[in-house]
Amino acid sequence: MKFICDKEKLLKAINSVTKAVAVRTTMPVLEGILIQTNDNDIKFTCYDLELGIEYVINDCEVTEQGATVVNAIMFSEIIRKLPDTEIKIEVNEKNLLVIECEGSLYKLATMNPEEFPELPEINVENSVEIEQNILKDMIRKTIFAISTEENRPIFTGSLFEVKNNKLNVVAVDGFRLAWKNKFLQTKTNDFTAVIPGRTLTEINKIMLDSFDLVKIGIAKNQALFELENCKIVTRLLDGEFLNYSSVVPDKWETRIRVNRSAIADCFERISLISSSSIEKEKKYPVKVSIDVGKITISCTNQTGDAKEELFINTEGKNLEAGFNPKYFLDVFRNIDDEEVFIDFGTSISPCIVRSVEEEGDYKYMILPIRLKN
């Protein structure tokens, strides 16, 4: 195998695929990048048996065909630190990977490419095409609500559901829920799939903020994401996801309309007291009190007490309820609107944060915490 390629192209391919390198494995070959040439194309692949990523660089100067596997971390670090110019890569007669660039010369041990497992063949049963910038936005506005608790594996992923030609992306962790939807431009069959949060995080890093399409294909227990030069294969999570539409309230008793940055700053400051308790095992909620034209956010514990007041637009009844401030901060950091609606029921029912601009397209639900008298 022998080829010459520009560093920028190489680095883009390497950065994309190494997100699927196995971290802890008994198979050393899974810690490597599979490099294959086909005519004038170079394909890079990493696969940890759950997530697999392929990236193809087209129209390179390939003078000798072949395949090899090289340690992913070492290879990527060397390429990253080389000068910004063309890089020559070949496998020599001693089966070492030789990397040459201007005055730099490196030789790396290789592994047998025949031992590298093939990515699973995906027999796509349902598929949907969507612009990359839209999907990036949908993932960003929901992924922070995915559970990190492994005792409920189904909630460590996001639900992708197509229903009545609308794509719903939903994440839930037992204390809050994030739901973003988008009507699709082309007729699409209904389907549901739960995609691991780690996969979505990596896909979001690879996708561009562009109008280019990404195709999502769903099979029985696998999903396939196809971009122009990149293919991502992932297993799906098994289990029954929450019936999310039945738990999100559609009526409110109290509604406020508030500047997102202003209320985020209040919660940011109040959380300094809320999270700094001397008794680290205790979690102290903040109290949210709503009166006509005003919201008061307060917290008291052994560290001290704090109160923030903000004058706002209010509708409905006065209210007092307790919440974890982190759950408000997470959503305020991930939506872009200048103003948001926050809808409340009673002091023990969920509250809903809605975008003012896209009120029907995005909902974020937070469960309250009971306040002690």
pLDDT digits (tens, 9 = 90+) for 331-351: 999 988 899 999 999 999 999
* The pair of three-digit structure tokens given for residue 163, joined into one six-digit string: 């229903």
Characterize 124-141 residue by residue with b for buried, 16 or more Cβ atoms within 10 angstroms of its Cβ, and e for exposed.
eeebbebbbebbbbbbbb
- Domain pair 2-115 / 126-245, same fold: yes
What does each C-alpha distance from 137 to 81, 133, 143, 207, 275 come to in angstroms? Answer: 32, 6, 10, 11, 30
- Greatest distance between any 2 Cα atoms in the chain: 80
Angle at 185 (CA atoms; ends 179, 191), nearest 5 degrees: 55
For the segment 220-230, the average pLDDT, to the nearest whole number, is 95
Nearest Cα to Cα of residue 321 among 371, 251, 264, 355: 371
Tell me what the pLDDT averaged over the chain comes to. Answer: 93
Helix axes 197-206 and 132-140, enclosed angle (nearest 10) = 140
For residue 148, pLDDT beyond 80:
yes
Nearest Cα to Cα of residue 154 among 222, 219, 239, 221: 239
168 residue type, one letter: N
* The pair of three-digit structure tokens given for residue 66, joined into one six-digit string: 């072949």
Domain boundaries, the chain: 2-115, 126-245, 248-366
Give CATH superfamily name and number for 126-245. DNA Polymerase III, subunit A, domain 2 (3.10.150.10)
CA dihedral 42, 114, 34, 123 (to 10 degrees): 80
Give tens-digit pLDDT for 237-255. 999 999 999 999 989 999 9
Give tens-digit pLDDT for 23-74. 888 899 999 999 999 999 999 999 999 999 999 999 899 999 999 999 999 9
For residue 132, pLDDT beyond 50:
yes
- Helix (H, G, I), strand (E, B), or coil: what is residue 104? strand
**Residue 282 pLDDT:** 52
What are residue 270's phi and psi, to 5 degrees? -70, -30
CA distance linking residue 155 with residue 151, whole number of Å: 9
* The pair of three-digit structure tokens given for residue 277, joined into one six-digit string: 């308790």
DSSP character for 369?
Answer: B
* Of the candidate ranges 78-82, 119-123, 222-226, 299-303, the one whose mean pLDDT is the lowest: 299-303
What does each C-alpha distance from 127 to 171, 193, 213, 218 come to in angstroms? Answer: 20, 11, 13, 6
CATH architecture under which domain 2-115 falls = Roll (3.10)
What does each C-alpha distance from 150 to 51, 223, 244 come to in angstroms? Answer: 18, 21, 20
CA distance linking residue 17 with residue 104, whole number of Å: 24
Q: pLDDT class for 359, splitting at 50, 70, 90?
A: low
Model pTM? 0.91
The CATH class, in words, for 248-366 is alpha beta
Q: pLDDT class for 150, splitting at 50, 70, 90?
A: confident
Q: pLDDT exceeding 90 applies to what percent of the chain?
A: 87
Enumerate long-range contacts of 240-245, CB under 8 Å, 24 or more apart. 240/154, 241/154, 241/155, 241/159, 241/170, 241/192, 241/194, 242/155, 242/170, 242/172, 242/177, 244/159, 244/168, 244/170, 244/172, 244/177, 244/179
Characterize 295-312 residue by residue with b for buried, 16 or more Cβ atoms within 10 angstroms of its Cβ, and e for exposed.
bebbbebebeebebebeb
Give tens-digit pLDDT for 256-306. 999 999 999 999 999 888 876 544 445 678 999 999 999 999 998 888 899
